[in-house]
Protein backbone atom coordinates (compact mmCIF):
# COMPACT_ATOMS: atom_id res chain seq x y z
CA UNK A 1 0.00 0.00 0.00
CA UNK A 2 1.51 3.33 -1.05
CA UNK A 3 2.16 5.95 1.62
CA UNK A 4 2.35 8.74 -0.94
CA UNK A 5 -0.58 11.20 -0.90
CA UNK A 6 -2.86 11.12 -3.90
CA UNK A 7 -3.21 14.21 -6.12
CA UNK A 8 -6.76 14.93 -4.86
CA UNK A 9 -5.40 15.04 -1.30
CA UNK A 10 -2.71 17.53 -2.33
CA UNK A 11 -5.34 19.62 -4.10
CA UNK A 12 -7.61 19.57 -1.03
CA UNK A 13 -4.79 20.70 1.27
CA UNK A 14 -3.77 23.43 -1.15
CA UNK A 15 -7.39 24.61 -1.26
CA UNK A 16 -7.46 24.83 2.56
CA UNK A 17 -4.34 27.00 2.55
CA UNK A 18 -5.91 29.23 -0.11
CA UNK A 19 -9.18 29.55 1.79
CA UNK A 20 -7.25 30.49 4.93
CA UNK A 21 -5.25 33.08 3.01
CA UNK A 22 -8.39 34.57 1.49
CA UNK A 23 -10.12 34.90 4.87
CA UNK A 24 -6.93 36.29 6.38
CA UNK A 25 -6.73 39.00 3.71
CA UNK A 26 -10.39 39.92 4.08
CA UNK A 27 -10.14 39.97 7.88
CA UNK A 28 -7.10 42.22 7.77
CA UNK A 29 -9.00 44.70 5.63
CA UNK A 30 -12.20 44.64 7.67
CA UNK A 31 -11.09 44.19 11.27
CA UNK A 32 -7.84 46.09 11.89
CA UNK A 33 -9.46 49.23 13.32
CA UNK A 34 -12.03 47.36 15.41
CA UNK A 35 -9.30 45.04 16.67
CA UNK A 36 -7.15 47.99 17.75
CA UNK A 37 -10.16 49.53 19.51
CA UNK A 38 -10.96 46.26 21.27
CA UNK A 39 -7.36 45.82 22.39
CA UNK A 40 -7.25 49.36 23.73
CA UNK A 41 -10.53 48.82 25.60
CA UNK A 42 -9.26 45.60 27.20
CA UNK A 43 -5.94 47.21 28.10
CA UNK A 44 -7.82 50.08 29.74
CA UNK A 45 -9.96 47.58 31.65
CA UNK A 46 -6.86 45.93 33.07
CA UNK A 47 -5.07 49.22 33.72
CA UNK A 48 -7.95 50.31 35.95
CA UNK A 49 -7.72 47.18 38.09
CA UNK A 50 -10.56 45.27 36.47
CA UNK A 51 -10.58 41.78 34.96
CA UNK A 52 -11.51 39.96 31.78
CA UNK A 53 -13.98 37.06 31.72
CA UNK A 54 -14.23 34.75 28.71
CA UNK A 55 -16.72 32.18 27.46
CA UNK A 56 -17.34 29.94 24.47
CA UNK A 57 -18.18 26.35 23.55
CA UNK A 58 -16.03 23.60 22.07
CA UNK A 59 -13.12 25.09 20.14
CA UNK A 60 -14.18 28.51 21.37
CA UNK A 61 -13.88 27.25 24.96
CA UNK A 62 -10.32 26.22 24.16
CA UNK A 63 -9.69 29.69 22.74
CA UNK A 64 -11.06 31.28 25.92
CA UNK A 65 -8.71 29.19 28.05
CA UNK A 66 -5.79 29.94 25.73
CA UNK A 67 -6.31 33.70 26.04
CA UNK A 68 -6.71 33.53 29.82
CA UNK A 69 -3.45 31.61 30.07
CA UNK A 70 -1.61 34.19 27.96
CA UNK A 71 -2.70 36.95 30.35
CA UNK A 72 -2.31 35.08 33.63
CA UNK A 73 1.14 33.81 32.70
CA UNK A 74 2.83 35.68 29.88
CA UNK A 75 2.47 36.30 26.16
CA UNK A 76 5.66 37.49 24.45
CA UNK A 77 7.38 39.54 27.12
CA UNK A 78 7.89 39.53 30.85
CA UNK A 79 5.26 41.44 32.82
CA UNK A 80 3.11 41.04 35.90
CA UNK A 81 0.26 38.50 35.63
CA UNK A 82 -3.02 39.98 34.43
CA UNK A 83 -6.49 38.92 35.67
CA UNK A 84 -8.41 36.83 33.16
CA UNK A 85 -10.85 34.03 33.91
CA UNK A 86 -12.12 31.46 31.42
CA UNK A 87 -15.62 30.48 32.54
CA UNK A 88 -15.25 27.13 30.78
CA UNK A 89 -12.94 25.24 33.12
CA UNK A 90 -14.74 24.43 36.38
CA UNK A 91 -16.54 21.13 35.77
CA UNK A 92 -18.34 21.20 39.12
CA UNK A 93 -19.74 24.67 38.47
CA UNK A 94 -20.68 23.92 34.86
CA UNK A 95 -22.39 20.62 35.61
CA UNK A 96 -24.23 21.87 38.70
CA UNK A 97 -25.67 24.85 36.84
CA UNK A 98 -26.59 22.71 33.83
CA UNK A 99 -28.21 20.10 36.08
CA UNK A 100 -30.06 22.42 38.46
CA UNK A 101 -31.07 25.10 35.95
CA UNK A 102 -30.15 24.80 32.27
CA UNK A 103 -27.06 24.57 30.11
CA UNK A 104 -27.99 27.97 28.74
CA UNK A 105 -27.12 29.44 32.16
CA UNK A 106 -23.65 27.93 32.65
CA UNK A 107 -21.84 31.18 31.77
CA UNK A 108 -24.52 33.69 32.73
CA UNK A 109 -24.60 32.66 36.38
CA UNK A 110 -20.81 32.90 36.56
CA UNK A 111 -20.87 36.39 35.07
CA UNK A 112 -23.56 37.31 37.58
CA UNK A 113 -21.36 36.08 40.43
CA UNK A 114 -17.94 37.25 39.23
CA UNK A 115 -18.55 40.19 36.90
CA UNK A 116 -18.37 43.72 38.23
CA UNK A 117 -18.86 47.09 36.58
CA UNK A 118 -15.72 47.99 34.65
CA UNK A 119 -14.83 44.39 33.84
CA UNK A 120 -14.91 43.01 30.29
CA UNK A 121 -16.39 39.88 28.77
CA UNK A 122 -14.89 38.24 25.70
CA UNK A 123 -17.71 36.21 24.14
CA UNK A 124 -16.59 33.76 21.47
CA UNK A 125 -19.04 32.10 19.05
CA UNK A 126 -18.35 31.25 15.42
CA UNK A 127 -22.07 31.47 14.59
CA UNK A 128 -23.26 34.01 17.15
CA UNK A 129 -26.08 31.59 17.95
CA UNK A 130 -24.74 30.00 21.15
CA UNK A 131 -27.57 30.43 23.67
CA UNK A 132 -25.31 30.17 26.71
CA UNK A 133 -22.84 32.73 25.36
CA UNK A 134 -25.65 35.12 24.48
CA UNK A 135 -27.20 34.71 27.94
CA UNK A 136 -23.83 35.65 29.44
CA UNK A 137 -23.69 38.79 27.30
CA UNK A 138 -27.12 39.88 28.54
CA UNK A 139 -25.98 39.53 32.16
CA UNK A 140 -22.71 41.30 31.39
CA UNK A 141 -24.59 44.26 29.97
CA UNK A 142 -26.87 44.42 33.00
CA UNK A 143 -23.85 44.45 35.31
CA UNK A 144 -21.92 47.12 33.43
CA UNK A 145 -19.33 44.99 31.66
CA UNK A 146 -18.14 45.83 28.17
CA UNK A 147 -18.35 42.92 25.72
CA UNK A 148 -15.87 42.08 22.98
CA UNK A 149 -17.57 39.51 20.73
CA UNK A 150 -15.63 37.25 18.37
CA UNK A 151 -18.05 35.95 15.75
CA UNK A 152 -18.32 34.81 12.14
CA UNK A 153 -20.92 34.32 9.41
CA UNK A 154 -23.56 37.06 9.89
CA UNK A 155 -22.86 37.57 13.60
CA UNK A 156 -26.06 35.81 14.57
CA UNK A 157 -28.15 36.75 17.59
CA UNK A 158 -24.99 37.76 19.45
CA UNK A 159 -24.32 40.65 17.07
CA UNK A 160 -27.86 41.93 17.57
CA UNK A 161 -27.42 41.93 21.36
CA UNK A 162 -24.41 44.22 21.37
CA UNK A 163 -24.70 47.78 22.59
CA UNK A 164 -22.96 51.00 21.58
CA UNK A 165 -19.98 50.43 23.88
CA UNK A 166 -19.48 46.79 22.86
CA UNK A 167 -17.20 45.70 20.02
CA UNK A 168 -17.77 42.90 17.51
CA UNK A 169 -14.92 41.24 15.64
CA UNK A 170 -16.75 39.32 12.91
CA UNK A 171 -14.65 37.07 10.68
CA UNK A 172 -15.84 37.27 7.06
CA UNK A 173 -16.37 33.56 6.50
CA UNK A 174 -19.15 30.99 6.80
CA UNK A 175 -16.79 28.08 7.45
CA UNK A 176 -16.33 27.20 11.12
CA UNK A 177 -12.72 26.06 10.74
CA UNK A 178 -11.66 29.25 8.94
CA UNK A 179 -13.45 31.38 11.54
CA UNK A 180 -11.73 29.54 14.39
CA UNK A 181 -8.35 30.01 12.73
CA UNK A 182 -8.93 33.76 12.56
CA UNK A 183 -10.19 33.87 16.15
CA UNK A 184 -6.81 32.60 17.34
CA UNK A 185 -5.07 35.39 15.40
CA UNK A 186 -7.51 37.99 16.77
CA UNK A 187 -6.90 36.82 20.33
CA UNK A 188 -3.14 36.92 19.84
CA UNK A 189 -3.45 40.44 18.42
CA UNK A 190 -5.43 41.48 21.51
CA UNK A 191 -2.65 40.01 23.68
CA UNK A 192 -0.07 41.98 21.71
CA UNK A 193 -1.98 45.25 22.22
CA UNK A 194 -2.36 44.55 25.93
CA UNK A 195 1.34 43.71 26.19
CA UNK A 196 2.49 47.07 24.85
CA UNK A 197 4.58 48.75 27.58
CA UNK A 198 2.56 51.96 27.23
CA UNK A 199 -0.52 50.00 28.27
CA UNK A 200 0.90 48.89 31.61
CA UNK A 201 -0.89 50.17 34.73
Mean per-residue pLDDT, 75-79 = 93
Model confidence, pTM: 0.94
Domains and CATH numbers, the chain: 7-199 (3.40.50.10490)
Write down the pLDDT at residue 5. 73
Write down the pLDDT at residue 201. 44
Residue 40 has pLDDT above 60, yes or no: yes
DSSP states of the chain:
---SPPHHHHHHHHHHHHHHHHHHHHHHHHHHHHHHHHHHHHHHHHHTT--EEEE-STHHHHHHHHHHHHHHT-SSS------EEETT--HHHHHHHHHHT-GGGTTHHHHHHH--TT-EEEEE-SSS--HHHHHHHHHHHHTT-EEEEEEETT-HHHHHH--TT-EEEEES-S-HHHHHHHHHHHHHHHHHHHTSGGG--
Residue 200 has pLDDT above 60, yes or no: no
Write down the pLDDT at residue 7. 83
Amino acid sequence: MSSHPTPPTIEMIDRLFQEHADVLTASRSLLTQALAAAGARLAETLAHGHKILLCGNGGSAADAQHFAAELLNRFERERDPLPAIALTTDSSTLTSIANDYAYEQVFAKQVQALGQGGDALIAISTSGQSANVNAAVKVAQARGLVTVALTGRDGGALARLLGATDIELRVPSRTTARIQEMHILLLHALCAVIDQPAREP
